[in-house]
A and B are shown apart, each in its own frame.
Chain A
């Protein structure tokens, strides 16, 4: 079945450590997105990528990094510079970036807890 997979579902990290969240899609979508969700707040955009080897900062990119070496993969690294990394992270994809009104498909999410 086509879809988006994120792993792991739950992740625990010690303060000061970098950690990488995986996002893979087999929908042949060009655009991919990373969002962060905190209690009582709407999802916020961290990074997005419209095509391979290109990505752009979203609203809250500080303390995060991404890569887009393959169309199907868009890993997110939460670095030690991110001051409050405990959150729920969602990856999404859409068919085409840079054009109007694409439906976005979401992964199941990764819940990151920093101890």
Chain B
């Protein structure tokens, strides 16, 4: 069974700072997902990637398959980026659900 570790668990930063959240996993995967969970509980999918790098607005996700590691970066962070960011891996081709990290609680202070 895949083990997914995220770091840091909690992160507080000032508005405008460059943010990095890390995710590592133990077993080879078909894809890795980055999700965002707001205080109300709903989850939004940010990225799904299996190699290289993806960018959407101020968010960038990278993955290194050989090192079993992914990072989520936020440039020019803003208080509205405050949320829990969750890394999840798809080990079985989507057949049996995702394995999730515990999440990184990010607070961006104005």
Q: Which A residues contact B (CB, under 8 angstroms)?
A: 31, 33, 35, 40-45, 48, 50, 56, 58, 88, 90, 94, 96-109, 111
Contact = CB atoms under 8 A, between A and B. Distances in A.
Given A31-B94, A103-B33, A42 B100 contact: yes
Contacts of B31: 100-101
A108 to B, nearest CB: 4
Contacts of B45: 103-106
Interface stretch (B13-21, B36-44, B62-70): B36-44
- Size bracket of the B interface: 20 to 34
B58 to A, nearest CB: 20
A104 B95 contact: no
Contacts of A31: 94
Contact of A103 (B30, B48, B95): B48
B98 interface: yes
A102 B94 contact: yes
A41 B48 contact: no
Contacts of B40: 108
A99 B31 CA distance: 11
Nearest to A44: B100
Nearest to B103: A42
A100 B30 contact: yes
Contact of A100 (B41, B93, B98, B103): B93
B73 interface: no
Given A43-B100, A88-B41, 17 more contacts: A40-B102, A42-B102, A48-B97, A56-B96, A58-B97, A90-B41, A90-B43, A94-B94, A100-B30, A100-B90, A100-B93, A101-B48, A101-B50, A101-B94, A102-B90, A104-B45, A106-B45
B102 A50 contact: no
B30 A101 contact: yes
A109 B95 CA distance: 22
Contacts of A111: 41
Given A100-B30, A100-B31, A101-B30, A45 B96 contact: yes
B103 A97 contact: no
